[in-house]
């Protein structure tokens, strides 16, 4: 019986090697494609009022009360790209 078991083990080992030789490993690293970026308030003030001097303590912008973001791409244009990314992830 040991000869039959050994032959079966050899066949099984050969099948495992065949499967491993035909296998492909694919690693996919996906990140969200962002469309909004935060704007630095100091740069925003310099663009909005270029002739303005350096702000003093009384006219400084409170960053907790005011924030600015810019949209990079029109969402209607970006939507098909996000759909493709969603299909790839699934």
Please tell me the pTM assigned to this model: 0.42
Which of 47, 42, 49, 50 is closest to 67 using CA atoms? 42
59-73: average pLDDT: 77
Task: Please say whether the beta carbons of 85 and 33 come within 8 A.
Answer: yes
Summarised one tens digit per residue, pLDDT across range 30-59 is: 777 788 888 887 777 666 666 666 655 455
Domain positions in the chain are: 26-89
| Cα separation, 30 vs 84, whole angstroms | 12
Summarised one tens digit per residue, pLDDT across range 71-90 is: 898 989 989 988 998 888 88
66-72: average pLDDT: 84
């Amino acid at each position: 019986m040991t000869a039959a078991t050994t032959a079966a083990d050899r066949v099984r080992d050969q099948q495992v090697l065949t499967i491993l030789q035909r296998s492909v490993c694919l690693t996919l690293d996906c990140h969200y494609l962002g469309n909004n970026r935060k704007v630095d308030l100091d740069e925003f003030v310099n663009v909005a009022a270029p002739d303005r001097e350096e702000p003093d303590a009384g006219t400084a912008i409170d960053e907790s009360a005011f924030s600015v973001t810019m949209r990079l791409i029109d969402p209607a244009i970006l939507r098909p790209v996000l759909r493709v990314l969603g299909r790839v992830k699934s």
